[in-house]
Chain A
Amino acid sequence: MQLDAAEPEATGPGPAQPASSPSALRERLSTAALALLLVPAAAGAETATNQIDFSTLYYGEQDRTQVFEPIVRATRLFGDGQAISAQLGLDVITGSSPSGALPSGTVQTMTTPSGRLVTVPAGQIPLTKFEDHRAGLDVDWRKPWGSLVTTTVGGHASREKDYQSLGVNAKVSADFDQHLFTVSAGGAFNDDSVFPVGGTPIGLSDGSEVTKGSNSKRVKSVLFGISHVMTRRWIVSVDGTRTYENGYLTEPYKVISVVSPFNGLPVYTLTDNRPSSRTRSSALLSSVYHLANDILCTSYRYYTDTWDVRSNTFDVKYRHDLAEGWYLEPHVRYYRQTAASFYTIGLSTILRPPEYATADYRLGRLTTLTLGANLGFRIGDRPSQWTLRAEYIRQKGDTAGGDQNGVQSHFDLTPTINTFTAVLGYSFNF
Protein backbone atom coordinates (compact mmCIF):
# COMPACT_ATOMS: atom_id res chain seq x y z
CA MET A 1 0.00 0.00 0.00
CA GLN A 2 1.23 3.46 -0.75
CA LEU A 3 -0.66 6.45 0.51
CA ASP A 4 1.19 8.91 -1.64
CA ALA A 5 0.73 12.60 -0.96
CA ALA A 6 -0.24 13.12 -4.59
CA GLU A 7 -3.22 10.80 -4.31
CA PRO A 8 -6.60 12.35 -3.54
CA GLU A 9 -7.20 10.02 -0.59
CA ALA A 10 -4.04 11.18 1.14
CA THR A 11 -5.41 13.74 3.50
CA GLY A 12 -2.09 15.14 4.59
CA PRO A 13 0.66 16.48 2.36
CA GLY A 14 3.13 14.48 4.39
CA PRO A 15 6.23 16.58 4.85
CA ALA A 16 9.14 14.52 6.10
CA GLN A 17 9.70 16.57 9.22
CA PRO A 18 7.92 15.49 12.40
CA ALA A 19 5.53 17.66 14.33
CA SER A 20 7.47 17.82 17.56
CA SER A 21 5.92 20.97 19.02
CA PRO A 22 2.35 22.32 19.30
CA SER A 23 3.11 25.15 16.87
CA ALA A 24 4.51 22.70 14.33
CA LEU A 25 1.44 20.54 14.80
CA ARG A 26 -0.87 23.52 14.22
CA GLU A 27 1.07 24.41 11.09
CA ARG A 28 0.73 20.89 9.78
CA LEU A 29 -2.97 20.73 10.53
CA SER A 30 -3.48 24.03 8.71
CA THR A 31 -1.49 22.72 5.77
CA ALA A 32 -3.51 19.50 5.78
CA ALA A 33 -6.79 21.45 5.87
CA LEU A 34 -5.60 23.65 3.01
CA ALA A 35 -4.57 20.59 1.04
CA LEU A 36 -8.04 19.08 1.53
CA LEU A 37 -9.61 22.21 0.07
CA LEU A 38 -7.23 22.27 -2.86
CA VAL A 39 -7.32 18.57 -3.77
CA PRO A 40 -10.50 18.61 -5.90
CA ALA A 41 -9.25 21.60 -7.88
CA ALA A 42 -5.83 20.05 -8.37
CA ALA A 43 -7.33 16.72 -9.45
CA GLY A 44 -9.39 18.45 -12.08
CA ALA A 45 -6.51 20.48 -13.41
CA GLU A 46 -5.09 17.49 -15.35
CA THR A 47 -1.61 18.93 -15.12
CA ALA A 48 1.21 16.53 -15.86
CA THR A 49 4.73 16.45 -14.48
CA ASN A 50 7.81 14.44 -15.31
CA GLN A 51 10.27 12.67 -13.07
CA ILE A 52 13.74 11.50 -14.01
CA ASP A 53 15.70 9.01 -11.89
CA PHE A 54 19.34 8.18 -12.53
CA SER A 55 21.36 5.62 -10.69
CA THR A 56 24.73 4.01 -11.12
CA LEU A 57 25.66 0.75 -9.46
CA TYR A 58 29.16 -0.47 -8.82
CA TYR A 59 29.32 -4.10 -7.69
CA GLY A 60 32.71 -5.58 -6.89
CA GLU A 61 33.48 -9.04 -5.55
CA GLN A 62 36.96 -9.42 -4.16
CA ASP A 63 39.10 -11.07 -6.91
CA ARG A 64 35.96 -12.12 -8.82
CA THR A 65 33.06 -10.42 -10.63
CA GLN A 66 32.83 -6.66 -11.21
CA VAL A 67 29.65 -4.99 -12.51
CA PHE A 68 29.05 -1.40 -13.53
CA GLU A 69 25.39 -0.58 -14.19
CA PRO A 70 24.00 2.85 -15.13
CA ILE A 71 20.18 3.08 -15.11
CA VAL A 72 17.86 5.88 -16.19
CA ARG A 73 14.11 5.96 -15.56
CA ALA A 74 11.71 8.53 -16.98
CA THR A 75 8.19 8.84 -15.57
CA ARG A 76 5.31 10.93 -16.83
CA LEU A 77 2.86 11.64 -13.99
CA PHE A 78 -0.60 12.73 -15.13
CA GLY A 79 -3.05 14.82 -13.16
CA ASP A 80 -5.59 12.00 -12.96
CA GLY A 81 -3.13 9.69 -11.20
CA GLN A 82 -1.92 7.80 -14.24
CA ALA A 83 1.82 7.26 -14.65
CA ILE A 84 3.84 5.92 -17.55
CA SER A 85 7.47 4.92 -16.99
CA ALA A 86 10.34 3.66 -19.09
CA GLN A 87 13.58 2.41 -17.62
CA LEU A 88 16.78 1.64 -19.47
CA GLY A 89 19.70 -0.15 -17.83
CA LEU A 90 23.08 -1.28 -19.09
CA ASP A 91 25.26 -3.80 -17.25
CA VAL A 92 28.95 -4.13 -17.97
CA ILE A 93 30.15 -7.36 -16.37
CA THR A 94 33.76 -8.52 -16.15
CA GLY A 95 35.80 -10.85 -13.99
CA SER A 96 35.55 -14.48 -13.09
CA SER A 97 33.38 -16.93 -11.18
CA PRO A 98 33.97 -20.45 -9.85
CA SER A 99 33.57 -23.08 -12.57
CA GLY A 100 32.34 -25.64 -10.05
CA ALA A 101 35.50 -27.77 -10.39
CA LEU A 102 37.49 -28.71 -7.29
CA PRO A 103 41.06 -27.64 -6.57
CA SER A 104 43.88 -30.12 -6.84
CA GLY A 105 47.20 -30.67 -5.14
CA THR A 106 48.85 -30.15 -8.54
CA VAL A 107 48.47 -27.74 -11.46
CA GLN A 108 45.26 -28.43 -13.43
CA THR A 109 44.70 -27.77 -17.11
CA MET A 110 41.09 -27.03 -18.08
CA THR A 111 39.18 -26.06 -21.20
CA THR A 112 36.97 -22.95 -21.10
CA PRO A 113 33.53 -22.90 -22.77
CA SER A 114 35.08 -21.07 -25.72
CA GLY A 115 37.66 -23.85 -26.17
CA ARG A 116 40.65 -22.05 -24.62
CA LEU A 117 43.07 -24.01 -22.41
CA VAL A 118 43.77 -22.53 -19.00
CA THR A 119 45.98 -23.69 -16.16
CA VAL A 120 44.88 -23.54 -12.53
CA PRO A 121 47.60 -23.30 -9.86
CA ALA A 122 47.76 -26.09 -7.27
CA GLY A 123 45.31 -25.65 -4.42
CA GLN A 124 43.30 -22.89 -6.09
CA ILE A 125 39.59 -23.06 -6.87
CA PRO A 126 39.24 -23.04 -10.69
CA LEU A 127 37.63 -19.85 -11.95
CA THR A 128 36.11 -19.09 -15.36
CA LYS A 129 36.83 -15.66 -16.78
CA PHE A 130 34.04 -13.87 -18.59
CA GLU A 131 32.98 -10.55 -19.99
CA ASP A 132 29.44 -9.58 -20.94
CA HIS A 133 27.10 -6.66 -21.53
CA ARG A 134 23.42 -6.62 -20.74
CA ALA A 135 20.91 -4.05 -21.93
CA GLY A 136 17.43 -4.04 -20.41
CA LEU A 137 14.29 -2.00 -21.07
CA ASP A 138 11.27 -1.95 -18.72
CA VAL A 139 8.06 -0.03 -19.35
CA ASP A 140 4.96 0.21 -17.17
CA TRP A 141 1.67 2.02 -17.07
CA ARG A 142 -0.24 2.61 -13.86
CA LYS A 143 -3.86 3.70 -14.02
CA PRO A 144 -6.34 4.37 -11.20
CA TRP A 145 -9.95 3.39 -11.80
CA GLY A 146 -11.87 5.59 -9.44
CA SER A 147 -10.48 6.02 -5.95
CA LEU A 148 -10.34 2.34 -4.99
CA VAL A 149 -8.79 0.34 -7.82
CA THR A 150 -5.41 0.73 -9.53
CA THR A 151 -4.00 -1.38 -12.33
CA THR A 152 -0.42 -1.63 -13.54
CA VAL A 153 0.70 -3.32 -16.74
CA GLY A 154 4.30 -3.61 -17.87
CA GLY A 155 6.74 -5.14 -20.26
CA HIS A 156 10.39 -6.17 -20.15
CA ALA A 157 13.07 -6.88 -22.74
CA SER A 158 16.74 -7.58 -22.07
CA ARG A 159 19.58 -9.04 -24.04
CA GLU A 160 23.08 -10.21 -23.28
CA LYS A 161 25.63 -12.28 -25.16
CA ASP A 162 24.04 -15.62 -24.33
CA TYR A 163 20.63 -14.77 -22.83
CA GLN A 164 17.48 -12.98 -23.89
CA SER A 165 14.42 -12.22 -21.78
CA LEU A 166 11.04 -10.95 -22.98
CA GLY A 167 8.21 -10.52 -20.50
CA VAL A 168 4.87 -8.97 -19.65
CA ASN A 169 3.27 -8.39 -16.27
CA ALA A 170 0.05 -7.04 -14.79
CA LYS A 171 -1.18 -6.21 -11.30
CA VAL A 172 -4.44 -4.96 -9.84
CA SER A 173 -4.81 -3.40 -6.38
CA ALA A 174 -8.07 -2.61 -4.63
CA ASP A 175 -8.65 -0.67 -1.41
CA PHE A 176 -11.29 -1.67 1.10
CA ASP A 177 -12.68 -0.43 4.41
CA GLN A 178 -11.88 3.28 3.91
CA HIS A 179 -8.47 2.46 2.39
CA LEU A 180 -7.35 0.55 5.49
CA PHE A 181 -6.89 -2.65 3.47
CA THR A 182 -5.28 -3.03 0.07
CA VAL A 183 -5.53 -6.35 -1.74
CA SER A 184 -3.23 -6.93 -4.72
CA ALA A 185 -3.08 -9.70 -7.29
CA GLY A 186 -0.74 -9.95 -10.22
CA GLY A 187 0.95 -12.17 -12.72
CA ALA A 188 3.90 -12.19 -15.10
CA PHE A 189 5.08 -14.26 -18.01
CA ASN A 190 8.64 -14.35 -19.35
CA ASP A 191 9.73 -16.09 -22.51
CA ASP A 192 13.51 -16.39 -22.16
CA SER A 193 16.15 -17.90 -24.44
CA VAL A 194 19.54 -19.29 -23.49
CA PHE A 195 22.17 -19.63 -26.23
CA PRO A 196 25.53 -20.47 -24.60
CA VAL A 197 28.78 -19.38 -26.24
CA GLY A 198 30.21 -22.40 -28.05
CA GLY A 199 26.89 -24.30 -28.01
CA THR A 200 24.88 -26.09 -25.33
CA PRO A 201 26.76 -29.00 -23.78
CA ILE A 202 24.97 -32.26 -23.06
CA GLY A 203 24.27 -32.51 -19.35
CA LEU A 204 26.68 -34.63 -17.27
CA SER A 205 28.98 -35.19 -20.23
CA ASP A 206 32.60 -34.23 -20.79
CA GLY A 207 31.33 -31.16 -22.66
CA SER A 208 32.82 -32.07 -26.02
CA GLU A 209 29.43 -32.71 -27.60
CA VAL A 210 27.23 -29.65 -27.97
CA THR A 211 23.97 -28.68 -29.64
CA LYS A 212 23.64 -25.43 -31.54
CA GLY A 213 20.79 -22.96 -31.34
CA SER A 214 18.90 -21.50 -28.44
CA ASN A 215 17.11 -23.17 -25.54
CA SER A 216 13.74 -22.03 -24.26
CA LYS A 217 13.04 -21.10 -20.64
CA ARG A 218 9.51 -20.03 -19.69
CA VAL A 219 8.71 -18.40 -16.39
CA LYS A 220 5.18 -17.79 -15.06
CA SER A 221 4.64 -15.95 -11.78
CA VAL A 222 1.61 -15.09 -9.70
CA LEU A 223 1.38 -12.79 -6.70
CA PHE A 224 -1.21 -12.16 -4.03
CA GLY A 225 -0.79 -9.55 -1.31
CA ILE A 226 -2.66 -7.82 1.47
CA SER A 227 -1.55 -4.67 3.25
CA HIS A 228 -3.27 -3.20 6.26
CA VAL A 229 -3.06 0.09 8.13
CA MET A 230 -2.74 -1.24 11.69
CA THR A 231 -2.47 2.07 13.52
CA ARG A 232 -1.80 5.72 12.67
CA ARG A 233 1.92 4.86 12.58
CA TRP A 234 2.03 1.29 11.36
CA ILE A 235 1.49 -0.51 8.05
CA VAL A 236 1.90 -4.27 7.67
CA SER A 237 1.69 -6.37 4.54
CA VAL A 238 1.97 -9.99 3.54
CA ASP A 239 2.76 -11.09 -0.01
CA GLY A 240 2.85 -14.58 -1.45
CA THR A 241 4.39 -15.40 -4.82
CA ARG A 242 4.62 -18.58 -6.81
CA THR A 243 6.85 -18.95 -9.86
CA TYR A 244 6.81 -21.81 -12.34
CA GLU A 245 9.96 -22.25 -14.43
CA ASN A 246 10.14 -24.70 -17.32
CA GLY A 247 12.77 -25.37 -19.94
CA TYR A 248 16.55 -25.05 -19.89
CA LEU A 249 17.45 -24.28 -16.27
CA THR A 250 21.02 -25.62 -16.33
CA GLU A 251 24.08 -23.38 -15.99
CA PRO A 252 25.92 -24.28 -19.23
CA TYR A 253 29.38 -23.10 -18.13
CA LYS A 254 29.48 -24.91 -14.78
CA VAL A 255 31.17 -28.28 -14.31
CA ILE A 256 31.48 -30.89 -11.57
CA SER A 257 34.73 -32.61 -10.68
CA VAL A 258 34.82 -36.38 -10.59
CA VAL A 259 37.34 -37.33 -7.93
CA SER A 260 39.13 -40.43 -6.81
CA PRO A 261 37.47 -41.79 -3.65
CA PHE A 262 40.90 -42.86 -2.38
CA ASN A 263 42.91 -39.62 -2.49
CA GLY A 264 40.33 -36.97 -3.44
CA LEU A 265 42.26 -35.88 -6.55
CA PRO A 266 40.11 -34.63 -9.46
CA VAL A 267 40.30 -37.03 -12.41
CA TYR A 268 38.00 -35.32 -14.92
CA THR A 269 34.97 -33.03 -15.04
CA LEU A 270 31.34 -33.45 -16.13
CA THR A 271 28.97 -30.70 -17.18
CA ASP A 272 26.23 -29.37 -14.92
CA ASN A 273 22.72 -30.84 -15.31
CA ARG A 274 19.57 -29.58 -13.57
CA PRO A 275 15.89 -30.54 -13.78
CA SER A 276 13.88 -28.81 -16.49
CA SER A 277 11.21 -27.53 -14.12
CA ARG A 278 11.21 -25.66 -10.85
CA THR A 279 8.39 -24.24 -8.76
CA ARG A 280 9.35 -21.47 -6.37
CA SER A 281 7.20 -20.08 -3.55
CA SER A 282 7.82 -17.15 -1.27
CA ALA A 283 5.97 -15.49 1.58
CA LEU A 284 7.02 -12.01 2.61
CA LEU A 285 5.89 -10.27 5.78
CA SER A 286 6.74 -6.53 5.81
CA SER A 287 6.22 -3.80 8.37
CA VAL A 288 6.77 -0.04 8.22
CA TYR A 289 6.56 1.77 11.55
CA HIS A 290 6.72 5.51 12.13
CA LEU A 291 8.55 6.24 15.38
CA ALA A 292 8.59 9.74 16.85
CA ASN A 293 10.87 11.01 14.07
CA ASP A 294 12.31 7.97 12.36
CA ILE A 295 11.04 5.12 10.21
CA LEU A 296 11.67 1.44 10.96
CA CYS A 297 11.20 -0.99 8.06
CA THR A 298 11.46 -4.70 8.77
CA SER A 299 10.69 -7.75 6.68
CA TYR A 300 10.92 -11.50 6.82
CA ARG A 301 10.75 -13.80 3.80
CA TYR A 302 10.36 -17.53 3.75
CA TYR A 303 11.22 -19.25 0.47
CA THR A 304 10.93 -22.84 -0.70
CA ASP A 305 11.16 -24.58 -4.06
CA THR A 306 10.89 -28.00 -5.64
CA TRP A 307 14.68 -28.30 -5.81
CA ASP A 308 14.58 -28.52 -1.99
CA VAL A 309 16.09 -25.09 -1.44
CA ARG A 310 14.59 -23.36 1.58
CA SER A 311 15.66 -19.98 2.85
CA ASN A 312 14.93 -17.36 5.50
CA THR A 313 15.66 -13.68 4.93
CA PHE A 314 15.54 -10.95 7.60
CA ASP A 315 15.86 -7.32 6.59
CA VAL A 316 15.93 -4.18 8.76
CA LYS A 317 16.23 -0.55 7.65
CA TYR A 318 16.13 2.41 10.00
CA ARG A 319 15.68 5.86 8.45
CA HIS A 320 16.70 8.91 10.43
CA ASP A 321 15.94 12.29 8.86
CA LEU A 322 18.60 14.90 9.48
CA ALA A 323 17.20 17.94 7.64
CA GLU A 324 14.99 18.70 4.64
CA GLY A 325 16.15 16.24 1.95
CA TRP A 326 18.87 14.79 4.19
CA TYR A 327 18.57 11.40 5.83
CA LEU A 328 20.65 8.45 6.91
CA GLU A 329 19.35 4.90 6.63
CA PRO A 330 21.44 2.02 8.01
CA HIS A 331 20.57 -1.42 6.66
CA VAL A 332 21.14 -4.99 7.83
CA ARG A 333 20.12 -8.11 5.92
CA TYR A 334 20.64 -11.72 6.91
CA TYR A 335 19.98 -14.64 4.56
CA ARG A 336 20.43 -18.39 4.98
CA GLN A 337 19.56 -21.17 2.55
CA THR A 338 19.68 -24.95 2.46
CA ALA A 339 21.23 -26.85 -0.44
CA ALA A 340 19.40 -28.11 -3.51
CA SER A 341 18.76 -31.85 -3.43
CA PHE A 342 21.19 -32.47 -6.31
CA TYR A 343 23.97 -30.17 -5.09
CA THR A 344 27.31 -31.88 -4.58
CA ILE A 345 30.89 -30.70 -4.16
CA GLY A 346 32.08 -33.49 -6.47
CA LEU A 347 31.26 -36.91 -7.87
CA SER A 348 33.14 -40.17 -7.40
CA THR A 349 34.91 -42.11 -10.12
CA ILE A 350 33.57 -45.40 -8.77
CA LEU A 351 29.91 -44.39 -8.61
CA ARG A 352 27.49 -43.93 -11.47
CA PRO A 353 26.61 -40.20 -11.92
CA PRO A 354 23.12 -39.25 -10.68
CA GLU A 355 20.41 -37.96 -13.02
CA TYR A 356 21.01 -34.36 -11.95
CA ALA A 357 24.03 -32.74 -10.35
CA THR A 358 25.53 -29.32 -9.81
CA ALA A 359 28.53 -28.00 -7.92
CA ASP A 360 27.42 -24.38 -8.27
CA TYR A 361 27.99 -23.00 -4.76
CA ARG A 362 24.88 -20.80 -5.13
CA LEU A 363 22.78 -23.95 -4.88
CA GLY A 364 24.69 -25.13 -1.81
CA ARG A 365 24.08 -24.29 1.81
CA LEU A 366 25.15 -20.69 2.36
CA THR A 367 24.72 -17.56 4.44
CA THR A 368 24.76 -13.95 3.29
CA LEU A 369 25.16 -10.96 5.59
CA THR A 370 24.70 -7.41 4.30
CA LEU A 371 25.66 -4.28 6.21
CA GLY A 372 25.32 -0.83 4.75
CA ALA A 373 23.76 2.59 4.79
CA ASN A 374 21.94 4.92 2.45
CA LEU A 375 22.55 8.66 2.66
CA GLY A 376 19.99 11.02 1.12
CA PHE A 377 21.14 14.56 0.46
CA ARG A 378 20.46 17.72 -1.53
CA ILE A 379 22.84 19.99 -3.37
CA GLY A 380 21.79 23.63 -3.85
CA ASP A 381 18.23 24.92 -3.78
CA ARG A 382 16.86 22.74 -6.56
CA PRO A 383 14.13 20.38 -5.24
CA SER A 384 15.97 17.27 -6.28
CA GLN A 385 17.18 14.27 -4.30
CA TRP A 386 20.59 12.63 -4.29
CA THR A 387 21.22 9.27 -2.65
CA LEU A 388 24.47 7.45 -1.99
CA ARG A 389 24.35 3.90 -0.74
CA ALA A 390 27.35 1.80 0.24
CA GLU A 391 27.05 -1.82 1.33
CA TYR A 392 29.27 -4.70 2.28
CA ILE A 393 28.04 -8.21 1.49
CA ARG A 394 29.70 -11.20 3.13
CA GLN A 395 28.74 -14.57 1.70
CA LYS A 396 29.96 -17.90 3.06
CA GLY A 397 29.15 -21.34 1.77
CA ASP A 398 28.90 -24.25 4.13
CA THR A 399 29.94 -27.61 2.72
CA ALA A 400 29.33 -30.61 4.88
CA GLY A 401 32.73 -31.59 6.29
CA GLY A 402 32.16 -35.27 5.70
CA ASP A 403 31.88 -34.71 1.95
CA GLN A 404 35.55 -33.86 1.61
CA ASN A 405 38.06 -36.68 1.48
CA GLY A 406 41.73 -37.07 0.65
CA VAL A 407 43.41 -33.95 -0.63
CA GLN A 408 40.11 -32.06 -0.65
CA SER A 409 40.00 -32.02 3.13
CA HIS A 410 42.95 -29.58 3.06
CA PHE A 411 41.06 -26.97 1.04
CA ASP A 412 38.37 -24.43 1.93
CA LEU A 413 35.98 -25.20 -0.93
CA THR A 414 33.61 -22.38 -0.05
CA PRO A 415 35.78 -19.42 0.90
CA THR A 416 34.13 -16.22 2.09
CA ILE A 417 33.16 -13.94 -0.78
CA ASN A 418 33.49 -10.28 0.16
CA THR A 419 31.53 -7.87 -2.01
CA PHE A 420 31.32 -4.11 -1.96
CA THR A 421 28.47 -2.25 -3.68
CA ALA A 422 27.88 1.45 -4.16
CA VAL A 423 24.84 3.12 -5.71
CA LEU A 424 24.71 6.82 -6.56
CA GLY A 425 21.20 8.04 -7.39
CA TYR A 426 19.71 11.35 -8.48
CA SER A 427 16.00 12.23 -8.97
CA PHE A 428 14.29 15.41 -10.03
CA ASN A 429 10.89 16.56 -11.26
CA PHE A 430 10.09 19.16 -13.91
Chain B
Amino acid sequence: MRRPAGFLRLVLVLALPVVAGGCATVHPWDRDLLAEKRMSLNPSPMLHAIDEHIYFSKEASMGGQDVSGGGCGCN
Protein backbone atom coordinates (compact mmCIF):
# COMPACT_ATOMS: atom_id res chain seq x y z
CA MET B 1 0.00 0.00 0.00
CA ARG B 2 1.10 3.48 -0.90
CA ARG B 3 1.82 6.30 1.52
CA PRO B 4 0.22 9.63 0.63
CA ALA B 5 3.51 10.80 -0.92
CA GLY B 6 3.86 14.45 -1.72
CA PHE B 7 0.60 15.31 -0.03
CA LEU B 8 2.09 18.04 2.13
CA ARG B 9 3.60 19.54 -1.00
CA LEU B 10 0.14 19.65 -2.57
CA VAL B 11 -1.33 21.44 0.47
CA LEU B 12 1.51 23.97 0.32
CA VAL B 13 0.95 24.54 -3.40
CA LEU B 14 -2.77 25.11 -2.78
CA ALA B 15 -2.01 27.39 0.18
CA LEU B 16 0.43 29.56 -1.75
CA PRO B 17 -2.13 31.63 -3.70
CA VAL B 18 -4.30 31.85 -0.58
CA VAL B 19 -1.45 33.36 1.42
CA ALA B 20 0.16 35.42 -1.32
CA GLY B 21 -2.97 36.51 -3.21
CA GLY B 22 -5.06 39.60 -2.67
CA CYS B 23 -2.59 42.44 -3.02
CA ALA B 24 -5.19 45.11 -2.22
CA THR B 25 -5.65 45.90 1.46
CA VAL B 26 -9.25 45.54 2.61
CA HIS B 27 -9.78 48.15 5.29
CA PRO B 28 -12.08 47.39 8.22
CA TRP B 29 -14.62 49.93 6.94
CA ASP B 30 -14.74 48.08 3.60
CA ARG B 31 -15.89 44.80 5.10
CA ASP B 32 -19.66 45.27 5.05
CA LEU B 33 -20.09 42.56 2.40
CA LEU B 34 -17.68 40.19 4.14
CA ALA B 35 -19.64 40.59 7.37
CA GLU B 36 -22.79 39.10 5.89
CA LYS B 37 -23.56 35.69 7.29
CA ARG B 38 -23.98 34.27 3.80
CA MET B 39 -20.29 35.11 3.13
CA SER B 40 -19.24 32.56 5.75
CA LEU B 41 -17.21 29.58 4.53
CA ASN B 42 -19.69 27.34 6.34
CA PRO B 43 -22.96 29.30 6.65
CA SER B 44 -25.04 26.28 7.70
CA PRO B 45 -23.06 23.91 9.98
CA MET B 46 -26.03 21.59 10.50
CA LEU B 47 -26.62 21.12 6.77
CA HIS B 48 -22.89 20.68 6.31
CA ALA B 49 -22.83 17.93 8.96
CA ILE B 50 -25.77 16.17 7.28
CA ASP B 51 -23.93 16.23 3.96
CA GLU B 52 -20.70 14.94 5.50
CA HIS B 53 -22.65 12.00 6.94
CA ILE B 54 -24.44 11.24 3.66
CA TYR B 55 -21.28 11.20 1.57
CA PHE B 56 -19.26 9.36 4.22
CA SER B 57 -21.82 6.54 3.99
CA LYS B 58 -21.75 6.41 0.17
CA GLU B 59 -18.12 7.10 -0.75
CA ALA B 60 -14.61 6.13 0.38
CA SER B 61 -13.37 9.67 1.09
CA MET B 62 -13.72 12.01 4.02
CA GLY B 63 -12.23 15.24 5.35
CA GLY B 64 -12.50 18.90 4.57
CA GLN B 65 -13.15 21.87 6.80
CA ASP B 66 -13.58 20.11 10.10
CA VAL B 67 -12.51 17.16 12.23
CA SER B 68 -15.36 17.18 14.74
CA GLY B 69 -18.19 14.65 14.69
CA GLY B 70 -18.17 10.95 15.30
CA GLY B 71 -17.90 7.60 13.61
CA CYS B 72 -20.70 5.56 12.17
CA GLY B 73 -21.29 1.93 11.35
CA CYS B 74 -22.57 2.91 7.92
CA ASN B 75 -19.16 2.66 6.27
* Docked pose: A4 CA to B41 CA in angstroms: 11
Give the chain A neighbours of B28 by CB distance below 8 A. 9, 11, 178-179
Contact A2 B40 (CB under 8 A): yes
* Docked pose: A11 CA to B24 CA in angstroms: 18
Contact B39 A3 (CB under 8 A): yes
Question: Per a CB cutoff under 8 Å, which of B33, B59, B65 touches A335?
Answer: B59
Interface residues on B, range: 35 or more
What is the minimal beta-carbon distance from A95 to any residue of chain B, in angstroms? 12
Contact B1 A341 (CB under 8 A): yes
Contact A10 B59 (CB under 8 A): no
* Docked pose: A238 CA to B74 CA in angstroms: 28
Within 8 A of B (CB), among A278-292: 279-286, 288, 290
Interface residue A359 (Cβ < 8 Å from any Cβ of B) = no
The verdict on A301 contacting B64 (CB below 8 Å), with A9-B28, A11-B31, A231-B26 known, is yes
Give the chain B neighbours of A223 by CB distance below 8 A. 66-67
- Using CB atoms, name the residue of chain A closest to B69: A156
What is the minimal beta-carbon distance from A125 to any residue of chain B, in angstroms? 16
Interface residue A143 (Cβ < 8 Å from any Cβ of B) = no
Contact B59 A337 (CB under 8 A): yes
* Docked pose: A181 CA to B22 CA in angstroms: 11
- Using CB atoms, name the residue of chain A closest to B60: A309
The verdict on A313 contacting B69 (CB below 8 Å), with A9-B28, A237-B18 known, is no
Choose among B7, B17, B34, B73 the residue with the greatest number of A CB atoms under 10 Å from its CB. B73
Number of A-B contacts (CB under 8 A): 260
Question: Per a CB cutoff under 8 Å, which of B2, B26, B61, B72 touches A232?
Answer: B26
* Docked pose: A221 CA to B63 CA in angstroms: 9
* Docked pose: A229 CA to B25 CA in angstroms: 9
The verdict on A219 contacting B15 (CB below 8 Å), with A231-B26, A282-B61 known, is no
Interface residue A53 (Cβ < 8 Å from any Cβ of B) = yes
What is the minimal beta-carbon distance from B71 to any residue of chain A, in angstroms? 4
Contact B58 A368 (CB under 8 A): yes
- Using CB atoms, name the residue of chain B closest to A337: B60
Contact B34 A228 (CB under 8 A): no
What is the minimal beta-carbon distance from B74 to any residue of chain A, in angstroms? 8
Contact A229 B60 (CB under 8 A): no
Question: Per a CB cutoff under 8 Å, which of A9, A280, A327, A363 touches B62?
Answer: A280
What is the minimal beta-carbon distance from B63 to any residue of chain A, in angstroms? 3
* Docked pose: A70 CA to B15 CA in angstroms: 37
Contact A136 B59 (CB under 8 A): no
- Using CB atoms, name the residue of chain A closest to B33: A290
Contact B64 A282 (CB under 8 A): yes
Contact A156 B1 (CB under 8 A): no
Give the chain A neighbours of B73 by CB distance below 8 A. 132, 134, 160-163, 194
Give the chain B neighbours of A87 by CB distance below 8 A. 46
Within 8 A of A (CB), among B17-52: 17-19, 21-22, 24-26, 28-42, 44, 46-47, 50
Give the chain B neighbours of A157 by CB distance below 8 A. 70
Question: Per a CB cutoff under 8 Å, which of B1, B19, B62 touches A282?
Answer: B62
Contact A5 B61 (CB under 8 A): no
* Docked pose: A425 CA to B30 CA in angstroms: 32
Interface residue A14 (Cβ < 8 Å from any Cβ of B) = yes
Contact A290 B72 (CB under 8 A): no
* Docked pose: A402 CA to B72 CA in angstroms: 34
Choose among B32, B69, B74 the residue with the greatest number of A CB atoms under 10 Å from its CB. B32
Question: Can you sample 15 A-B contacts with CB below 8 Å?
Answer: A5-B36, A53-B46, A55-B46, A160-B73, A167-B68, A231-B26, A236-B17, A237-B41, A281-B63, A282-B61, A284-B64, A288-B41, A290-B33, A387-B44, A421-B54
| CB-based closest 6 A-B pairs | A282-B63, A163-B73, A12-B32, A230-B22, A165-B70, A14-B35
